[in-house]
Structure 1
Amino acid sequence: MSEVKGKTPTEYSASNIQVLEGLEAVRKRPAMYIGDVGIKGLHHLIWEVVDNSIDEALAGYCDTIYVTVHEDNSISVLDNGRGIPTDMHEKEKRSALEVVLTVLHAGGKFDKNTYKVSGGLHGVGVSCVNALSETLKATVYRDGKIFEQEYERGNPLYPVRIIGESEQRGTSIYFKPDKQIFTISEYNYETIASRLRELAFLNPGITIYLEDTREKDEKGETRKDKFLSEGGLREFVDYIDSTREKLIPEPIYIENDKGEIPVQVALSYNTSFSENLVSYVNNINTHEGGTHVAGFRRALTRTLKNYAEKSGLLEKVKIDISGDDFREGLTAVISVKVAEPQFEGQTKTKLGNSDAMGAVDQAVGEVLQYFLEEHPREAKTIVNKVILAAQARHAARKAREMVQRKNVLSGTGLPGKLADCSSTDPSISELYLVEGDSAGGSAKQGRDRMFQAILPLRGKILNVEKAQEHKIYENEEIKNIITALGVSFGTVDDDKALNLAKLRYHKIVIMTDADVDGSHIRTLILTFFFRYMKELIENGYVYIALPPLYLVKKGKEERYCWTEEERDAFVKELGGGKDDSVNVQRYKGLGEMNPEQLWSTTMDPARRSLKQVSIESAAEADHLFSMLMGDEVAPRRDFIEKNAKYARIDV
């Protein structure tokens, strides 16, 4: 492993490690520290360890990181940084390595001389990973020696020891998540790859290797990826927009590191009808935006509007142009580094530092104004896009108002095809969006009428990725979904924002056939929700029903199976292969099940299997939806060919 060129690894020792808090509570209340004990929390363990390596890179001491998923779903992360200090900690009277791994919030990040900016500041450090792991092994390559310490559920098995000599430099953390803590133990490759790709774009020049030893192809090769970006945010914008038609040849890049808050922004325009803005603070994805996003939007609107008015491009436009219009077809990535970030919002992913707004506003305003004056052709293209967006927005507002007015005029305002539930309490009410009238009929008969409502959808809803907004609200199936949900559009600040005040169901379940058409319909509905009702997903209201794929029978014994592995295991259990008395029925459509079967397998809360839809990475989700549902065929074909052998699609 190569040493990073540049800085001499000095001024980082036990004296830099400050202790803030003990570790006792982590195992008792893990969700307080990592969010939850499900799939998100499981992956959060990797982010905490990788964050340490990225912080070494930000400080200039590391340029290579290796992440490996082992066959038993244990993880190892190796970097070529300075290595966690191993000398005695003066206050704690034990090795600094043990302090870092056993005391919550202990680390160099709280010492401003060690790390000026840290990505892991909103996290809880590798000690939390240690507390929630069955086993953890730390190996440090430092000062010509190899140091090692192992732990069980946060407790050291022996003091830090020297096990050899090496000129290598860096830290290796191996851990296995504790099954006593986590409800899910299997890592998702795509989730890990997405985050590492993001980190490579945000930190150009760092090479991150990912290997998954759990899966091998026909040649016996493990699944591998290498993430390295030289172009940083420019490449990030190009990646997000890779399946869209560009309006300007290259992304506009803005960088200002002169002030207290370094700012990096890349932005571009495309022919789509949606805005895609992704923001980060110290490599942390700020899903809810914040002051840095507000500063960007303010500068973009002001600068573009001033240019458009000065150049006379708005003289013949008879309608008002709003801030939204300047962002249609915009793709932008904002990254700021803040020494002491203040996070707020529902999920603590909204930046609250007021000085970030001014820093981003000034940086974007200056560079964008210069760009528009120096590139009149591109500037005119952008302004023309803005004018078209304003005209489309007016048409869309009228279409939304028509949908809402129709609801009011028709009394209940509910679609005729909706079989509603008797409960009026949204917190226990569920709406099933069901593919086809046949399955809709079975679902209506099989459901619990008290809290389950059924809305059959005829055929495939409109592909919103290719349609202007006003056309979307004219689509019959989409109108039915909107009116059944009871939501409206428009707030004081934003006439496109979704208003959830009158949402009638807090579980919206997409229930489609387990075939290609069913997958397509599900993706169309998810695309609509992601583009126009993202708040439903962000609040955790959207689910996918998982009907069984097989019914395996032998005599009076029968079992529903959701996977091929389950099917094969039960067939073997019944003695399959010895005789032909085992009958395997493959369900292709929901309509093949009678109401009782549909209830017991797919709708009964006690036995059903639902997958909650979440947005781990907005940038990755945007790229995926535009690739799957957009005009470009080649990227879609590549994606299918690359992922077909893994045959697990998680949204």
Structure 2
Amino acid sequence: MADLLNNTNSNANNYGDDAIVTLSPREHIRLRPGMYVGVVGDGSQPDEALYVLIKEVVDNSIDEFIMGAGRQIDITLADNVVTVRDYGRGIPLKSLAAAVGQMNTGGKYGGDAFKKTVGLNGVGVKAVNMLSEEFTARSVRDGEARTVTFAKGLEVSDRWESGVNEKNGTFISYRVDKEIFGEYAYNLEYVEQKIRNYSYLNLGLTLNFNGKSYVSKNGLLDLVNDNMTEDPLYPPIHLTGEDIEVVITHGTGYGESYDSFVNGQHTTQGGTHQTALRAAVAKTVKEFYHKDYDPSDIRTSIIAAISIKVTDPIFENQMKTKYGSKEVEPGVSVNNFVADFLTKHLDDYLHKHAETAQILQRKIVENEKERKAISGIQKKARETAKKVSLNNKKLRDCKIHRTDRNELAEQSMIFITEGNSASGSITKSRDVRTQAVFSLRGKPLNCYGLTKKVVYENEEFNLLQAALNIEEDMDNLRYNKVVIATDADVDGMHIRLLMMTFFLQFFPEVIRQGHLFVLQTPLFRVRNKKETLYCYSEEERLKAVARCGANAEITRFKGLGEISPDEFKEFIGENMRLDKVRITKDDPIHDLLEFYMGKNTYERQGFIIDNLRIEEDIVEQDLAIN
């Protein structure tokens, strides 16, 4: 005990002036990149830093277009090198090195050079520079040019030229630093989707990406039509005005689907403009029909998009995924701006298009009938959920939630597991601050084709809905990540599909807003006396065996319950592998659910037979290797 006290006092005495460290901006960005560009992943998810860096560079070129300079942007991505060339005004030559290499330097802190743009903090392209092993910036202005190169944020060369025969504009080229990113690979589909969004929001702009051109003629209308995962009940309503564009239609499913943008920035987490749209649609529709419809009946199944342009936008994080300002400009609130626009233009549209107005009203009435039909069950189910919330045996809650004002709020997640053994391992190894566990009792109900009434009649679904707090509004979702954690066997895959069906059927916005994930868990453990390797695929297992030698011990995990809590920490900690569940234009919800969860068909039987992998095959391969 005395030794322990002495060690403790010794450590405490080490806290002196030399323990206080001041980092340069470059050092801080490289040490804490997540604060500036989000999650540093391997490129497997569209919201990771690799794609944020591309956006930061392209945003500057978009801002040039917004200011009327340049109608074309050329982008390439080859051999992990990204290049962006615009034909705008070009960065002022004397300021080029500082503009790309010195933090909090830029031309967007006021004045008339930029208005209603996205990049306002003087951070973005500097972060790209400091996180890249090689970075080049070249500016051309009226026959004069300057090229500056950097390595990991440190200037390497500076070249001036005169009499160049090039169009004005800025060229940026970079390759990210493997010291920061490790092994990575770009997914070109993610990049293409971002470029499409740029084209939808900037009519008249041509974006060339690896030789393919992206241009939009109808703005947000093209976005909604291109991304629609179901047939709309009526042709989308497209409304445009000064600094605002809105598209509205309805589908047949549950939930609400929104795409929202501010100054061309895709605010995937919404914000004050999206909240204003939801309120304004309900208000305008009620006034048009002269009926006091419940707002939820008006908005259920809505598919909408909104884009606004504002002065000096305020976002809630550096990634600019949620808009936080209450004003579009001094003295004009976001709520009034959006409400006044819809009150006039949506009302006019419905008066001029009687067929659309009739279809919309029928949909509202249908939603109202269903809501009233389940109101009795709903009330009873809410009471049950409230009673068990204090002692919910299925839920092992965490301390910090998505809705809390806490720096760890975005790390909050809930694991939906199968059975007591799996949930027991996760519960013992989880981080109690940010990781909750909800335990399923065997296979949940196949809810395909059922109405939302089943969510309240089925105790398990009702308790899950209550745990997530998504009954009334997605803004209340308590966890940033909802993670399905099942065994990697046939039963586990079936449970995974059943849970996906639940969300696709009743809460598709959980998926659309990027909150639903599937946990990858290792299939094998390969170890010798020196090291232990966990393998998530057959390919990884073969590499591990080659590394550890022919006499390595190979364990095949058949279920999550077989993995000890100490080992499980590895799989739900910093090295956690998650697959985000997505809905795209190529994944129509109804067709997916009908194929996987509808009545058995010869087509589905054929799919299962063609893709079935018998476990004995793996055992035979083990024997062949050993």
2:422 and 2:236 map into 1 onto residues whose CA distance is: 51
Map of 1:60 onto structure 2: 68
Per-residue Cα deviation, 1:61-106 (whole angstroms, up to 9, x for no partner)? 33333333333x34222333343332xxxxxxxx222121123343
1:628 and 1:160 map into 2 onto residues whose CA distance is: 58
1:254 and 1:192 map into 2 onto residues whose CA distance is: 28
2:282 and 2:413 map into 1 onto residues whose CA distance is: 41
Residues 570-585 of structure 1 correspond to what in structure 2 (within 5 A)?
Answer: 570-573=544-547
Residues 130-529 of structure 1 correspond to what in structure 2 (within 5 A)?
Answer: 130-144=129-143, 147-162=146-161, 165-182=164-181, 185-211=184-210, 226-241=213-228, 243-248=229-234, 250-257=235-242, 262-309=243-290, 321-344=293-316, 349-353=323-327, 354-407=332-385, 414=392, 418=394, 432-435=415-418, 440-441=420-421, 444=424, 448=428, 455-459=439-443, 461-462=445-446, 467-482=450-465, 485=467, 488=469, 495-496=472-473, 509-514=483-488, 518=492, 521-522=495-496, 525=499, 528=502
SS at 2:69's partner residue? coil
Cα distance, 1:341 vs. partner? Answer: 1.9
1:479 and 1:118 map into 2 onto residues whose CA distance is: 44
Cα distance, 1:308 vs. partner? Answer: 1.6
2:172 and 2:78 map into 1 onto residues whose CA distance is: 13
Per-residue Cα deviation, 1:347-366 (whole angstroms, up to 9, x for no partner)? 75333214333232222222
Per-residue Cα deviation, 1:255-309 (whole angstroms, up to 9, x for no partner)? 112xxxx111111222222221221110122345444334433442233223223
Q: Aligned AA for 1:571?
A: V
TM-score after normalising by structure 1? 0.71
Residues 580-619 of structure 1 correspond to what in structure 2 (within 5 A)?
Answer: 589-590=558-559, 595-597=561-563, 599=565, 601-602=567-568, 609-611=575-577
Per-residue Cα deviation, 1:420-454 (whole angstroms, up to 9, x for no partner)? 76x9857899864334x5xx546547963896856
Cα distance, 1:517 vs. partner? Answer: 6.8
Retained in 1: the 8 A contact 2:136–2:149?
yes
Alignment of 1:569 with 2:543, yes or no, is: yes
2:65 and 2:412 map into 1 onto residues whose CA distance is: 49
TM-score after normalising by structure 2? 0.73
Q: Aligned AA for 1:392?
A: E
1:113 and 1:430 map into 2 onto residues whose CA distance is: 44
Change beyond 3 A, Cα 1:239–1:547:
same
Cα distance, 1:376 vs. partner? Answer: 1.0
Q: Aligned AA for 1:229?
A: S
Map of 1:220 onto structure 2: none
Change beyond 3 A, Cα 1:51–1:526:
farther
Alignment of 1:49 with 2:83, yes or no, is: no
Change beyond 3 A, Cα 1:390–1:613:
farther
Change beyond 3 A, Cα 1:26–1:441:
closer
Alignment of 1:34 with 2:37, yes or no, is: yes
2:92 to 67, 70, 85: 85
1:445 and 1:155 map into 2 onto residues whose CA distance is: 47
Q: Which blocks of at least 5 consecutive residues in structure 2 are unaligned?
A: 1-23, 42-46, 402-410, 597-602, 608-626
Aligned length: 550
Change beyond 3 A, Cα 1:396–1:205:
farther
Retained in 2: the 8 A contact 1:304–1:383?
no
Q: Aligned AA for 2:166?
A: E
Cα distance, 1:333 vs. partner? Answer: 0.9
Change beyond 3 A, Cα 1:31–1:57:
same
1:296 and 1:482 map into 2 onto residues whose CA distance is: 25
Cα distance, 1:142 vs. partner? Answer: 4.2
Q: Aligned AA for 1:245?
A: D
Retained in 1: the 8 A contact 2:254–2:508?
no
Retained in 1: the 8 A contact 2:81–2:174?
yes
1:554 and 1:411 map into 2 onto residues whose CA distance is: 46
SS at 1:109's partner residue? coil
Change beyond 3 A, Cα 1:560–1:104:
closer
2:526 and 2:341 map into 1 onto residues whose CA distance is: 64
Retained in 2: the 8 A contact 1:48–1:123?
no
Retained in 1: the 8 A contact 2:132–2:151?
yes
Change beyond 3 A, Cα 1:57–1:583:
same
Cα distance, 1:205 vs. partner? Answer: 3.4
Q: Aligned AA for 2:541?
A: R
Higher helix share: 2
SS at 2:175's partner residue? strand
Cα distance, 1:166 vs. partner? Answer: 3.4
Q: Which blocks of at least 5 consecutive residues in structure 1 are unaligned?
A: 1-20, 87-94, 212-223, 315-319, 642-651
Cα distance, 1:343 vs. partner? Answer: 3.5
Change beyond 3 A, Cα 1:607–1:561:
farther
Cα distance, 1:151 vs. partner? Answer: 0.8
SS at 1:358's partner residue? helix
SS at 1:459's partner residue? coil
Cα distance, 1:146 vs. partner? Answer: 5.4
2:103 and 2:540 map into 1 onto residues whose CA distance is: 41
Retained in 2: the 8 A contact 1:204–1:230?
yes
Retained in 2: the 8 A contact 1:287–1:349?
no
Cα distance, 1:371 vs. partner? Answer: 1.6
Retained in 1: the 8 A contact 2:258–2:303?
yes
Retained in 1: the 8 A contact 2:106–2:122?
no
SS at 2:113's partner residue? coil
SS at 1:120's partner residue? coil
Cα distance, 1:586 vs. partner? Answer: 6.6
Worse-matched range after superposition: 232-241 or 22-31: 22-31
Q: Aligned AA for 2:220?
A: L
SS at 1:139's partner residue? strand
Cα distance, 1:136 vs. partner? Answer: 0.5
Cα distance, 1:391 vs. partner? Answer: 2.3
Change beyond 3 A, Cα 1:383–1:116:
same
Per-residue Cα deviation, 1:159-193 (whole angstroms, up to 9, x for no partner)? 23339843344332111223444577544434333
SS at 2:358's partner residue? helix
Q: Aligned AA for 1:610?
A: M
Change beyond 3 A, Cα 1:402–1:629:
farther
Q: Aligned AA for 1:381?
A: I
Alignment of 1:109 with 2:75, yes or no, is: no
